[in-house]
């Protein structure tokens, strides 16, 4: 269940949105017979956005519990965790700041910063933290052509039940040229030609079949939605 309210403007140029997500669990017969613990999950969201002369910015605060708690440290969608064991005491918190800076008519910067923390969301983990930041300067050549340079960084820290800490992180640099249906960041369909450099921040050999701590990818990506 997803309920949202939007439209309240606390001051000029601002807008808000509030959301409640509630996950009703419907376990299978085999899951019931195994006496696995599946509790309904709750996620609360509060958003405050503000427009200004150079663009806009949105701040998001979220609280999750039970099987929804892992979303605080996941970059994926809002799924319910049924694989990590007992999540009846799990809690998650997340802060997001995102927006656009329009430097001039042809040059803009999209950005997003995320910090999340989840507690007791796995049998083997006491807590997990995630920090990520991405900036994408874009030059718009025409309503249908733009060139983008994206810089990204993330770090993740897992504290195991034994007290040991596991850290991971990385950097991403992407240069791309896109042909799209308009100059908006969300204009689709879009075909994108890109080259990306990836680097593991812990100097671990995670690329090229475990032989290197960095790699270069290139290709063509097509996006469309309706």
Q: Per-residue pLDDT for 172 more than 90?
A: yes
CATH code for the domain of 62: 2.40.170.10
Q: What is the pLDDT of residue 35?
A: 57
Q: 150 is in which domain, residue-wise?
A: 2-223
Question: With 70 as the cut, is the pLDDT of residue 149 above it?
Answer: yes
pLDDT, average across residues 164-191: 91
Q: What is the pLDDT of residue 34?
A: 63
Residue 66 DSSP symbol: G
Residue-level pLDDT at 100 = 95
Place of tokens 């997001």: 96
- For the entire predicted model, the pTM comes to 0.90
Q: Is 59 in a helix, a strand, or coil?
A: strand
DSSP symbol at 89: T
Query: Alpha-carbon torsion 78, 58, 140, 151, what sign?
Result: negative
| pLDDT(38) > 80 | no
Higher pLDDT, 145 or 161: 145
Please state the separation of Cα 111 from the chain's center in Å: 12
Check residues 181 and 112 and name the one with the higher pLDDT: 112
- Whether the pLDDT of residue 145 is over 70: the answer is yes
Lowest-pLDDT range of 26-35, 37-46, 69-78: 26-35
φ, ψ dihedrals at 85, nearest 5°? 100, -150
Is the predicted pLDDT of residue 203 greater than 80, yes or no?
A: no
Q: Which residue has the higher pLDDT, 88 or 42?
A: 42
Q: pLDDT grade, residue 206 (50/70/90)? A: confident
CB–CB of 149/137 below 8 Å?
A: yes
Cα angle 17, 23, 24 (rounded to 5 degrees) comes to: 140
What is the number of structural domains in the chain?
A: 1
């Amino acid at each position: 269940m997803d309920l949202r309210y939007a439209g309240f403007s606390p001051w000029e140029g601002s807008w808000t949105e509030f959301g409640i997500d509630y996950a009703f669990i419907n376990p299978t017969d085999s899951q019931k017979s195994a006496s696995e613990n599946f509790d309904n999950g709750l996620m609360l969201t509060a958003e405050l956005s503000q427009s200004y002369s150079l663009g806009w910015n949105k701040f998001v605060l979220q609280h999750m519990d039970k099987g929804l708690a892992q979303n605080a440290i996941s970059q994926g969608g809002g799924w319910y965790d049924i694989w990590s064991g007992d999540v009846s005491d799990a809690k998650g918190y997340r802060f997001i700041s995102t927006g656009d800076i329009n430097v001039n008519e042809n040059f803009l910067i999209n950005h997003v910063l995320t910090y999340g923390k989840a507690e007791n969301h796995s049998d083997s983990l006491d807590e997990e933290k995630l920090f990520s930041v991405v900036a994408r300067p874009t030059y718009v050549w025409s309503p249908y052509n733009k060139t983008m340079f994206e810089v990204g960084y993330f770090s993740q820290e897992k504290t195991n039940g034994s007290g040991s800490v596991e850290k991971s992180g990385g950097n991403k640099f992407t240069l791309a040229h896109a042909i799209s249906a308009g100059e908006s960041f969300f204009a689709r369909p879009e075909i994108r030609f890109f080259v990306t450099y990836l680097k593991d921040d812990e100097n671990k050999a995670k690329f090229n079949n475990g032989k290197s701590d960095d790699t270069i990818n290139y290709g063509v990506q097509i996006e469309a939605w309706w």
